[in-house]
Structure 1
Amino acid sequence: MEILKKSRIILIPAYEPDYRLISYVKELHGHGLNEIVIVNDGSGPAFEKIFHTLEEMGCVILVHQLNRGKGMALKTGYHYIHDAYPDYACIITADSDGQHAAEDVYKMAKEAVNHPDGLILGERDFKTSGIPAKSLMGNRLTSAIFALFFGRYLPDTQTGLRAFGPRLTGLMWEILGERFEYETRVLIFCIRSKIPLIEVPIQTIYENENKGTHFHPIKDSFKIISVITSDFMKFISTSILCAAVDMGLAWVMFDLLRGIFTGADFIRIMTATAAARFVSIGVNYSLNKNLVFGNEHTGENSLYRYLALCAINMILSAISVYLLHTLLNMDEKIAKVICDVILFLFNYQLQSRWVFAIRGLKHEP
């Protein structure tokens, strides 16, 4: 296949496709989209005829001998395109089960060229009739949970029609994930590294109740939700651990300092509290940076941002408790619990997207 400059490459991961894929490729050709890379993700001998026909039509066929998952199929395609096409304009990923209209693929290609630094998402309209219940419920649930934890509502978090320019290719193959959950990890990575997400409306197509899909509504939805919530669960765990460190160390120092601050209980308690808090803040910072958000690209000032956030939290907590107590006559202890729970969620968002945000990555493969 002739490699043209500024090619718009269509990448299709395919596992046990039917003959609709052949018709789909013809439709793509009809829109001038002729550079098509298809990854046979371990489909087996029974599907060789389909892939042979696609190869005769000019498609590049890459083969996994065993099924390795959609994420790995996409990464195989990204590596091949990076090496084989020296000057491509963009990569458009599409599914093999007929869900993405050829005209929408063409639309995505144009948007990717216009936004070389962003990830273009084909957004289906789930308000239309005829959507399979499992697809509607899965997308609604994951969109709501994604918005809760990452502060961005995406109506179609599971869309397989995506596009991006060569500046992002090298980042895409480094993101963890092998199967359907990989695409969710890509969204999280883009949010945390401030890569623009551009949503483009596309047609909503479900043929034969979407029975051709290999997406398992229970198992794969659970994996996706686990990916979305995994950092938050680790965040809760480290917070509990550091609270125990703070309290335990303070209790120990209360007794150790009695001989030093005899008759000065206030100074003894303040000294123990401050020392314990200093240690717990250091432990919490280290755990959140290396374990929770697992990011070595936080920039040089993440510690200062973390300390600033700690100070903001203390001020907001005190003011909020005071206002609830004085204006609403709420018990101080109850007000403290309510305020600190809200601030805890606020804290997670800011640590993910500001304190430990991904910074300084090169967008060239």
Structure 2
Amino acid sequence: MRISRTLDGHGQQLVLGSRHFTGNVPFRSRLGNSITRMVYSFTTGIKVYDTQTGLRGYSADLLNWLCQIPGERFEYEMNMLLRAQNEGYIIHEIFIDTVYLEHNKSSHFRPLADSFKIYLPLLLFSGSSIISGVNGLLHVYHEEIGIPLFIAKLLTEGSIFLFSYWAQRKYVYKA
């Protein structure tokens, strides 16, 4: 009800029911959320306490936008957060109590497969920064590795161009 009340009368916003992770929380859940929260914050510069909460509310005017976001399950949730903040939508968090029955026995989370799907959008989101860092390292250490500066520049600038073109075409200008 608190999420619904927050949405009333406000357009273009997402409301997250963010879990406190207090009490008897399984170690895997506490650790996974802490790591994802730190990586998301480091990558985007935005703090979201619970990036993987399944309790979310959306204003009705976002429904068409929500249908255009790629991914399924946990990957979809991360893609939504990345796109929302990137496209200027408001993200509100309302803190909720965390309840785990039988140490989260009913969870459908697959640690390796789903973690990969969660972190891939974050990696793509920060990919051009990573490539730029490699670019800088190659410029500084090109002689030590035995690569002429011209080849180092060609490799790094070419990879930045190709990655940026691909990422923008696939994710930024998809709509």
With normalisation by structure 2, the TM-score equals 0.78
Q: Tell me which residue corresponds to 1:55.
A: none
Question: What is the Cα deviation at residue 162 of structure 1?
Answer: 0.5
Is residue 108 from structure 1 mapped to residue 3 from structure 2 by the alignment?
yes
Provide the C-alpha distance between the structure 2 equivalents of 1:239 and 1:147, rounded to a whole number of angstroms: 19
1:205, 1:124 → 2: CA distance? 9
Question: 1:170: how far off?
Answer: 0.7
Matched-pair contact (CA < 8 Å) for 1:135–1:217: no
Alignment of 1:234-245 (within 5 A): 234-237=128-131, 240=134
Which of residues 7, 14, 19 in structure 2 aligns to 1:124? 19
Q: How does 1:203-242 map to 2 (within 5 A)?
A: 203-237=97-131, 240=134
Which stretches in structure 1 are left out of the alignment for 5+ residues? 1-105, 251-275, 298-360
| RMSD of equivalent CA atoms | 3.0
TM-score computed with the length of structure 1 as normaliser: 0.40
Q: Which residue of 1 aligns with 2:165?
A: 290
One-letter code aligned to 2:107:
T
**Aligned to 1:190, which of 66, 84, 89?**
84
Q: Which residue of 2 aligns with 1:38?
A: none
Q: In structure 1, how many angstroms separate the alpha carbons of the residues matched to 2:94 and 2:9?
A: 13
2:73 aligns with 179
- The code of the aligned residue for 1:121 comes to L
Paired residue total: 163
Which of 142, 145, 150 is the matching residue for 1:248? Answer: 150
**RCO (CA 8 Å, sep 6+): is it higher in 1 or 2?**
2
Q: How far, CA to CA, are the matches of 2:92 and 2:17 in structure 1?
A: 9
Structure 2 unaligned spans of 5+: 140-147
Moved runs in structure 1, 4+ residues, more than 3 A? 237-244, 283-289
Distance 1:227 1:166 in 2: 25
Identity, % of aligned positions = 29
Distance across 2 between alignment mates of 1:290 and 1:227: 16
Go from structure 1 to structure 2 and tell me whether the alpha carbon gap of 1:226 and 1:288 turns closer, same or farther (over 3 Å shift): closer
**For 1:130 and 1:212, how far apart are their aligned partners in 2?**
16
Cα distance in 2 between the residues matched to 1:249 and 1:156: 44
Aligned 8 A contact 1:123 1:156 in 2: yes
In structure 2, how many angstroms separate the alpha carbons of the residues matched to 1:135 and 1:249?
Answer: 46
* Pair 1:145 & 2:44 matched: no
Distance (whole Å) between structure 2 residues aligned to residue 284 and residue 222 of structure 1: 23
Name the structure where helix makes up a greater proportion of residues.
2
Structure 2 distance, partners of 1:196, 1:176, is 20
SS in 1 for 2:8: helix
